[in-house]
Structure 1
Amino acid sequence: MELTWVLAVIAMLGFGFAAFFAKLWISAKSSITELQLRIEAQSDLEQKTALMKAEFEALSQKLINERSKELTSQHSDSLSQLLKPLTIELDAFKKRVNEVYENETRDRVSLKQEIVSLKALNQKMSEDAINLTRALKGENKTAGNWGELILDQVLTASGLREGHEFTRQQSFIGEEGNRLQPDVVISLPDDKCLIVDAKLSLKDYERAMSASDDTGRIDALKAHANSLKTHVRSLSGKNYANLPGITTVDFVIMFVPVEPAFSAAFETQPQLFTDALAQGVVIASPSTFLALLRTVEHVWRIEHQNQNTRQIADLGGKLYDQFVLFAESFQDVGEKIRRSQEAFEKAGQRLSIGRGNLVGRAQKLKKLGVSSTKSIPTTLQDLDD
């Protein structure tokens, strides 16, 4: 009985434990299922959260990019507006720098050319100074060359043409058979000539300029004036006015190539010019000689104009005479044409018009049986009818 009770108790306990464990299993299973559902829900939530996070990040990045582009564009426009004046200034500065560089380059080239020209001019002035010094010191050949050089410059400035209005170093035979060769022979209208001599020594003038005191200077200037007087007598004695083959004016030009030397001589002897003129010699400096040559050039220009005027008048007269001859010939031709027309009409009348005309008589002969292979033109027959 006790055993049965024990078994019963054990059975009851077993059933109870079974029920408990069954209930516990069901409860555990339900919890597990719920937990599983929660886990699945949690996983789904995490996925959705991750997806939403990714979408949010993408959207945020897109917004950031768009905003960045917008800000960049705005900043670019703003920066362009801010930099535009600076750009203009920089362009102007660049242009100015280029202009300054070009001008500097051009000025540098021009300066270089000027330096070269100045160097050449200084060289020429040095050579001229040396030549002048030699000329003034009386080296005869150099003095002559110097005088001829200045004379050439004056002739060039005058506008006269070599070979037309003047010739150089033309040789002549004097009355006594001596050979004369003036430096220049200037042609004048009316077949006249002007003789120019430039062979003059200026060594006394150089002594005057180099004198250390007034006494030496005055003595040298007197000697210079006397040297000019001696040369005047020499030119007068050559008697250029009576050269055979040419007609000269009644004076000769004595050319003094240095202006101060010209003036200094007249300061010492004021009557030197009139004394020389009385001997048929005119003393001329470069300036006075140039004025004389310009006058000669003007006279020649007027002469050429007068020659052209005469040629035009001559051609006009010949043209008028030719026109008169043509008019007379034209009138004569017209008169001959009129007479020919009258003769033609009269011959036509005799041929086919009027009583007893030739066409009518010829037609009558044909009607009478004259043998002929040709016929009179119908136009003439119509006139006869």
Structure 2
Amino acid sequence: KDIASQNSEDFLRLAEERLGKVQSESGKDLDARKKEVENLIKPIHEGLTKLEKATTDMETKREGAYQGLKRTVDTLHKQTTDLRDTNIQLSTALRGSIQARGNWGQISLKNIVKAAGMLEHCDFDVEFTLKSGKGGARVDLLAKIPGGGDIPVDAKVPLASYWDALELTDPDKRLAKMAEHAKEVKKHIDDLVKRDYPSMMDGTDFTVMFIPAEPILSAAYEIDPELQEYAFRKQVLIATPVTLMALLKTVAIYWNQVSMAENAKEIQSAARAFYDRAAKFGEDLAKIGRGLSSAVSGYNDAVGAYDGSVIPAGEKLKKLKVAEGAARDITDKNPQLVSTSVRTVTKLSMPINEEE
């Protein structure tokens, strides 16, 4: 009887060890599969986060571009009004300072560029080499335009006759000095034609001649009403703070559109990359499912063998009272079949390769 009892205990121990080994291996396999799933999900999560951020940024810029258009126009109107009033005041204040007169044009130019939001797309005081090989063709401003190219802006129109005219009280002398002012403006147009800035760059076929105050240009127009048409024929655009502001604002809008288009391309690229990863994840998930299904099948086979062989033998030994005194009952806490099947991934698409 002692030998039979010992054999029974050995048999039960071996059966439990075998079942425990099967359960341990199944558990390790499940942990490994779980870790593999987590590793697959991580890049998908990162891709979704990047896609969400890019989409949010694009929507924010788009909303700012369209909903802020009216505010931009209102602000432009206020800024141009303020600029006109300020320039009139400055024209009076600067009559006595030669140095201030020389610096005023460039200072006014930079303020307009800043107000138009074009500082990052403009270069100041750029020197070119003339076709003759001589230096000295210095343009005061280059406004970059989307797609390549620049708009040259010159702010060196002579203003001495205009300032002198303002100091005269005699109407005839003042009119004569204003006539000199109109001739100087026209001569400066011809000088810009000779410099031919557009031939040194791409994107435009005209030069902007900046005059830092509306009254300065109006005074020239009063003497020579055909001055604007003359400038057009020479491919020179005469711009005051108001018209230059409008021009630069228009260019700034195009730059915003380019920025949004670049964001759209980035979103498209991220979306395609995400789609590829998602498709690959689905395929890998199907492989994991097949592995889990195989593991469950092996586990169920082991449980079936345990129920069909180990339990009946144990029951027989129990009836023969061989198992009396054993530490455990073979029928306690029997392993159960896993009846839940692994869900199959039914919808898989081929990954899309990004075309760039």
TM-score normalised by length of structure 1: 0.50
Counterpart in the other structure of 1:300: 255
CA distance in 2, matches of 1:278, 1:313: 46
CA contact (8 A) 2:165 2:178 kept: yes
2:112 is the alignment partner of 1:154: yes
**SS of aligned partner of 1:222:** helix
Q: Does residue 171 in structure 1 map to residue 134 in structure 2?
A: no
CA distance in structure 2 between the aligned counterparts of 1:285 and 1:332, rounded to whole angstroms? 71
Q: Quick one: distance in 1 between partners of 2:212 and 2:104?
A: 8
1:48-59 alignment runs, 5 A limit: none
Larger radius of gyration: 1
How much does 1:213 deviate?
3.6
Q: How does 1:47-196 map to 2 (within 5 A)?
A: 129=92, 131-134=94-97, 139=98, 142-160=100-118, 162=119, 164-179=120-135, 180-196=137-153
| Residue-by-residue CA offset, 1:68-104 (whole Å, 9 max, x unaligned) | xxxxxxxxxxxxxxxxxxxxxxxxxxxxxxxxxxxxx
User: 1:238 and 2:195 equivalent?
Assistant: yes
Q: CA deviation at 1:197?
A: 1.0
Measured in 1, the distance between the counterparts of 2:222 and 2:91 equals: 26
Compared with structure 1, are the counterparts of its residues 247 and 333 closer, same or farther at alpha carbon in structure 2 (3 Å cutoff)?
Answer: farther
Structure-to-structure mapping, 1:298-337, within 5 angstroms: 298-337=253-292
Amino acid at match of 1:177: G
User: Taking structure 1 as reference, are residues 312 and 133 closer, same or farther at Cα in structure 2, changes over 3 Å only?
Assistant: farther
Is the alpha carbon distance of 1:239 and 1:127 closer, same or farther for their aligned partners in structure 2, counting shifts above 3 Å? closer
**2-side partners of 1:343 and 1:296: how far apart?**
70
The whole-number CA distance in structure 2 between the counterparts of 1:328 and 1:251 is 59
Spell out structure 1 runs of 4+ moving beyond 4 A: 125-130, 339-346, 351-354
TM-aligned CA distance change 1:285 to 1:210, over 3 Å: same
Answer whether contact 2:212 2:240 (CA < 8 A) is retained.
yes
Q: Which residue of 2 aligns with 1:205?
A: 162
The one-character-per-residue Cα deviations of 1:291-318 (angstroms, maximum 9, x if unpaired) are 2222222222233233223322332222
Unaligned runs of 5+ residues in structure 1 are 1-124, 355-377
Distance 1:270 1:129 in 2: 24
Q: What is the letter of the counterpart of residue 109 of structure 2?
A: L
> Could you tell me which amino acid in structure 2 is paired with residue 218 of structure 1?
L
Q: Give the % identical residues.
A: 27
Secondary structure of the 1:178 match is coil
Q: Distance in 2 between matches of 1:333 and 1:176?
A: 75
Q: Distance in 2 between matches of 1:213 and 1:329?
A: 93
State the Cα distance separating 1:352 from its structure 2 match: 8.9
Q: Which residue of the partner structure matches residue 81 of structure 2?
A: none
Which digits, 9 at most, give the CA deviation of each residue in 1:122-173, with x for residues without a partner? xxx9997553444xxxx5x65431211221222222222x3x2212123333
Q: CA deviation at 1:227?
A: 0.8
The 1:132/1:317 distance shift into structure 2, 3 A limit, reads: farther
> In the alignment, which residue of structure 1 is the partner of 2:213?
258
**Cα deviation, residue 343, structure 1:** 7.3
Partner deviation per Cα, 1:164-185 (whole Å, 9 max, x = no partner): 2212123333433333331111
Contact 1:132–1:146 at 8 Å: present in 2 too? no
What is the rounded CA distance, in whole Å, between the counterparts of 2:238 and 2:154 in structure 1? 10
CA distance in 2, matches of 1:264, 1:126: 16
1:280 corresponds to which of 211, 235, 238:
235
Give the TM-score, by structure 2 length. Answer: 0.54
Contact 2:95 2:163 in 1 (8 A): no
Distance in 2 (alpha carbons) for counterparts of 1:181 and 1:126: 29
**Equivalent-residue separation in structure 2 for 1:339 and 1:274 (angstroms):** 87
Q: In structure 1, the residue corresponding to 2:152 is in which secondary structure?
A: strand
Distance 2:175 2:105 in 1: 24
User: Using the alignment, how far apart are the partners of 1:198 and 1:186 within structure 2?
Assistant: 13
Higher RCO, Cα 8 Å, sep 6+:
2
Is structure 2 residue 174 aligned with structure 1 residue 217?
yes
Mapped partners of 2:278, 2:222: distance in 1: 68
Change (3 A) 1:221 1:307: same
Distance in structure 2 (CA, Å) of the matches to 1:341 and 1:174: 83
User: How far did residue 199 of structure 1 move?
Assistant: 0.9
Q: Indicate how the Cα distance of structure 1 residues 129 and 211 shifts in structure 2: closer, same or farther if over 3 A, else same.
A: closer
Report Cα offsets for 1:36-75 as digits up to 9, x if no partner.
Answer: xxxxxxxxxxxxxxxxxxxxxxxxxxxxxxxxxxxxxxxx
Q: What amino acid is the match of 2:114?
A: T
